[in-house]
Amino acid sequence: MSDVTFKEGRVSGYNNFDASLRIKVLPTTPAPASLAPETFDLGAHRDEVLLAQGTPSRVDGTKWYYGLSEVAFKDGKVVAFNNFFNNLKVVMKPKEGAQPGMSSKGFSIGSTQDEVLAAQGTPSSVQANLWSYELSDVWFHDGKVRMVNDFSSVLKFRPPQ
């Protein structure tokens, strides 16, 4: 069953669970098709997400849902996502100039976010300072790895000696 919520006479959210709503979210600034991004990253504007992903299946406040995956916004920019169902076109890459060769070495306590990205690639989920890769977690403090739980045995983590 689908539903639409209103605030002050305007649509403020919806859930198109059964795909019965004929709804389309449009970007605030149309971009030429040739410039439409194929992916998005943390910090992307909601229009970039919309152009890469299309209309969300549900909008609830500052969260957009694509099936069971979600993208969270603050001031119109992506601040978090949950892509455990691997249907989001989110890609995170280390910044240019990040230490080359890190991917083969893995990462350890004190590694930077760029070093983790070089070793692991895009996380399944980013929620503030917690990055998840499947059921494994990497916690950051001041941009550096503080703690790791590798429940899924997927992390290229080098424990301290």
- What does 66-109 look like in DSSP terms, one character per residue? ETTEEEEEETTEEEEEE-TTS-S-B---PPTTS-TTHHHH-B-T
Whether 14 shows a pLDDT value over 80: the answer reads yes
Residue 142 is classified by DSSP as: T
pLDDT in tens, 54-109: 999 999 999 999 999 999 999 999 999 999 999 999 999 998 765 555 566 899 99
Question: Which residue type occupies 156?
Answer: K
Predicted model pTM: 0.85
Q: Can you read off the two tokens belonging to residue 15? A: 């859930």
Q: What does the pLDDT read at residue 19?
A: 83
